Amino acid sequence: MIPRPNRAGIIAALDTGSPQRAEAWAEALSPHVGCLKLGLEYFVANGPAAVARIAARAPVFLDLKFHDIPNTVAGAVRSALALRPAMLTIHAAGGPAMVEAARRAAEEAGPDRPAILAVTVLTSTDAATLATTGVSGGPAQQVLRLARLTLESGADGLVLSPREVPMIRAAHGAAPLLVVPGIRPRGSDPGDQSRIATPEETADAGADWLVIGRPITAAPDPAAAAAAIARSLRP
């Protein structure tokens, strides 16, 4: 698995369907970040071969959020192993058997297996949105519930908003790998994110990796934007 950074590392989110744009970003950003995120938009548009080209430049966080019956998720994880991702996401709501199946499939890759990360509550989701799906108690309570379930079932870590990081560290200590989207440098447009924090705040709270997309990729100079955030995170 990818080593933990000394302080929070940066994952640049390459949220695009264009392989040319993604490869240009990868070349520009690789010197300044520790990992590159590729998600559904990129994977559906371009397929595994395009992911492999990005993975040749830097470690890849393959954010496909698998959520299906255990056997299907295990098969999807096995298929993804050929791309050698550093991290791979599943939905925590899939339940213990699904998480266990994903972990067992990942272990077939041996010591270089990807970290299995359970996505708890999306950073665009607030209490009102959760309530419409029948989940009461708000995001924090749901994150805590899903964290306990998935970590006990073999997940290596969690994807969660900055607001829940202190609570999860208090409940589960230093062991879980915490990967945190919803990062917005001071003065940035929050966009469609509802539970956000700055890079420095999130690192201080105990996050391992910060997923940062538009504040980097939409900047006039993405490499300079990434370098500036990286400097702000140095001890």
Torsions phi, psi for 9 (to 5 deg)? -95, 170
Catalytic residue numbers read 65
Nearest Cα neighbor of 194 from 143, 142, 134, 128 is 128
Beta bridge partners of 180: 210
User: How many angstroms separate the CA atoms of 199 and 203, rounded?
Assistant: 6
Torsions phi, psi for 109 (to 5 deg)? -85, -5
Nearest Cα neighbor of 155 from 112, 113, 206 is 113
Region label for 174, one of left (φ > 0), alpha (ψ between -120 and 50) or beta (otherwise): alpha
**For the CA atoms of 89, 46, 21, 63, what is the dihedral angle to 10 degrees?**
0
